[in-house]
A and B are shown apart, each in its own frame.
Chain A
Amino acid sequence: MRANKLVAGTLLLAALAPWPAQAFDLNLDLNKLRDVVTQQLKPMSEKDEIQLGRGIAANLLGAAPLVPDAQLQAYVNRLGKWLAMHTDRPALPWHFGVLDTESVNAFATPGGYVFITRGLLLQMRDEAELAGVLAHEISHVVEKHALETMKKGAFLEFAGDTLSQALRSEGSAEFSKIVSAGTEVFARGLDKQDEFAADRMGVVIAARAGYDAYGLPGTLQTLAAINPKDDAVALMFKTHPDPAERLELLLTAMEGKLEQYGDQPKVADRFASVMKSHMARYQPKKK
């Protein structure tokens, strides 16, 4: 419906285009408006999307580094890749990382850079829960939720061509500006409906990959018990709908459709042994 309006708007602008903007008594910058509309309609090339996502990933890693545990990181990458292979975008250069912070959160930048915090990993019971959360993030990438949010807000000040040019000159001032604007989206959060949609797609991806489909609901139940005033969850609660509400909507959506995948493996033993080895190696870094 929104897309229809945009198409109508573009047609209107195209019709108006031959005449100079001054010919109208409207107090509108038609050229700018046309840029905005064109940019929203024109899909970003996959190459640009990956460049943008890589830039934002560099910023996220500047805010919180990776947990220095190669075995844990490789395990999460194999799991994440397995899930991504069961989506419509299996060939993206998928990257997965566990961030070394006690904050409870997860992020996915355009182009397939997926992060989960160590604080969230420590809340999980089994591999099916980890799969569910990663699959939720993967869904944001597959559906381009963050990218669309940026195009509707953070990127409006950049004309379409500027955006594309800047993304091809990594290290330039324009590139940093665009990437910073993109990173800020993760401080504000995505649309509520995008979060619910990622929940619904995430459980299907996890079940397609062979996991108990109820891993994500299990983690949502855990999150629902946490006091939102706790510092560790402040950002996640600010940027996501209430986990109890997500849980209820998701269970309803799964009813009669995914219940039969509730007895697939949870892979609790391997998860326990990975976590145990990680805990034995881990040296907490002070701020």
Chain B
Amino acid sequence: MNRSGINRRFKILVATVGALLFAVAYAASEVGSTRVDVNVLSAPKTDAKTVGQLSANTRVDIAERRGAWMRVKANGTTGWVRLHQVRLGTGPEKTSSQGMKMLWTAGQTGRSGATGIVATTGVRGLSAEDLKTAQPNPQQVQALEKYRANDASAREQARAAGLRERQIALLPKEQ
């Protein structure tokens, strides 16, 4: 095997290990609680067989997200539940512990999740009052103008991520 082959294999190995580490750190970072009594399914589809049951307010570890589904682990059961059946965090509804968290922190590659650093105070917020009394900032509009993208650069960024365009009809207006 030539040098570039070894080199390539090494790169793939590094990338794989890196991806695994990322996945592990990421998986470990999210926890939630069931919002209601839920059936845990063997696969991410409604007709999959039930592999367990969790009563409301059971703490779950979130192992994976896929479409409308999450693979969770709790009380020795692993399986799939739907997004809206779980609230994130461990506290009661809408009391995300210690308020807002910055989920991306300097020097880390992933969201820090439950162990996140509480947002630094003193950084400016944006209130209704700020909007009511807002004065125009033309320099900032100029800056915004500078960052505009054209079709070609937009298409190139999409292509680089392997995105493929689809023809999809809009959802009906009313349920």
Known: A73-B147, A95-B145. A102 touches B107 (CB 8 A): no
Judged by DSSP, the binding face of A is helix
Please tell me if the beta carbons of A99 and B166 are within 8 angstroms of each other in the complex. no
A54 within 8 A of B: yes
Known: A55-B136, A77-B148. A104 touches B100 (CB 8 A): yes
Interchain CB contact (< 8 A) of A286 among B65, B122, B127: B122
A149 within 8 A of B: no
B1 within 8 A of A: no
Which chain B residue has the least Cβ–Cβ distance from A83? Answer: B154
B104 within 8 A of A: yes
Cα distance A145–B122 in the bound complex, in angstroms:
34
**Residues of the B chain whose Cβ atoms lie less than 8 Å from the Cβ of A264:** 163-164, 166
Which chain B residue has the least Cβ–Cβ distance from A262? Answer: B67
Please tell me if the beta carbons of A217 and B149 are within 8 angstroms of each other in the complex. no
Known: A61-B137, A208-B166, A272-B109. A235 touches B128 (CB 8 A): yes
Please tell me if the beta carbons of A64 and B130 are within 8 angstroms of each other in the complex. yes
Interface size counted on chain A using CB atoms at 8 A:
113
Please tell me if the beta carbons of B125 and A214 are within 8 angstroms of each other in the complex. no
Please tell me if the beta carbons of B130 and A232 are within 8 angstroms of each other in the complex. no
Judged by DSSP, the binding face of B is loop
**8 Å CB contacts to B: which residues of A173-209?**
176, 179-180, 183-184, 186-188, 197, 200-201, 203-204, 207-209
Cα distance A214–B126 in the bound complex, in angstroms:
28
**Residues of the A chain whose Cβ atoms lie less than 8 Å from the Cβ of B89:** 225
Which chain A residue has the least Cβ–Cβ distance from B143? Answer: A66
Please tell me if the beta carbons of B144 and A102 are within 8 angstroms of each other in the complex. no
Cα distance A263–B154 in the bound complex, in angstroms:
22
Cα distance A119–B126 in the bound complex, in angstroms:
10
A interface footprint on B127-148 (CB within 8 Å = 1, 0 otherwise): 1111110111110110111111
Which chain B residue has the least Cβ–Cβ distance from A224? Answer: B87
Known: A82-B158, A123-B103, A235-B127. A95 touches B148 (CB 8 A): yes
**Residues of the A chain whose Cβ atoms lie less than 8 Å from the Cβ of B161:** 127, 265, 267, 270
Interface size counted on chain B using CB atoms at 8 A:
80
Cα distance A203–B107 in the bound complex, in angstroms:
32
A60 within 8 A of B: yes
Interchain CB contact (< 8 A) of A211 among B148, B163, B175: B163
Please tell me if the beta carbons of B168 and A258 are within 8 angstroms of each other in the complex. yes
Please tell me if the beta carbons of A272 and B22 are within 8 angstroms of each other in the complex. yes
A interface footprint on B1-43 (CB within 8 Å = 1, 0 otherwise): 0000000000000000001001000000000000000000000
Cα distance A217–B69 in the bound complex, in angstroms:
10
Which chain B residue has the least Cβ–Cβ distance from A243? Answer: B94
B interface footprint on A203-247 (CB within 8 Å = 1, 0 otherwise): 110011111111001100110111110111111001000001001
Please tell me if the beta carbons of B147 and A77 are within 8 angstroms of each other in the complex. yes
Cα distance A264–B100 in the bound complex, in angstroms:
30
**Residues of the B chain whose Cβ atoms lie less than 8 Å from the Cβ of A279:** 104-108
Please tell me if the beta carbons of B94 and A226 are within 8 angstroms of each other in the complex. yes
Please tell me if the beta carbons of B124 and A287 are within 8 angstroms of each other in the complex. yes
**8 Å CB contacts to A: which residues of B57-97?**
65-69, 82-84, 86-89, 93-96
**Residues of the A chain whose Cβ atoms lie less than 8 Å from the Cβ of B150:** 81
Please tell me if the beta carbons of A101 and B123 are within 8 angstroms of each other in the complex. yes
Please tell me if the beta carbons of B140 and A265 are within 8 angstroms of each other in the complex. no
B positions within 8 Å CB-CB of A: 19, 22, 65-69, 82-84, 86-89, 93-96, 99-100, 102-111, 119-120, 122-132, 134-138, 140-141, 143-151, 153-158, 160-173, 175
14 pairs, CB–CB < 8 Å, chain A vs chain B: A81-B148, A85-B155, A104-B100, A186-B131, A187-B128, A214-B83, A238-B128, A247-B83, A259-B68, A263-B66, A269-B19, A276-B108, A285-B123, A287-B124
Q: A82-B154, A235-B131, A238-B128 are in contact. List 6 more A-B contacts (CB 8 A).
A: A82-B155, A101-B126, A201-B171, A227-B94, A232-B125, A265-B163
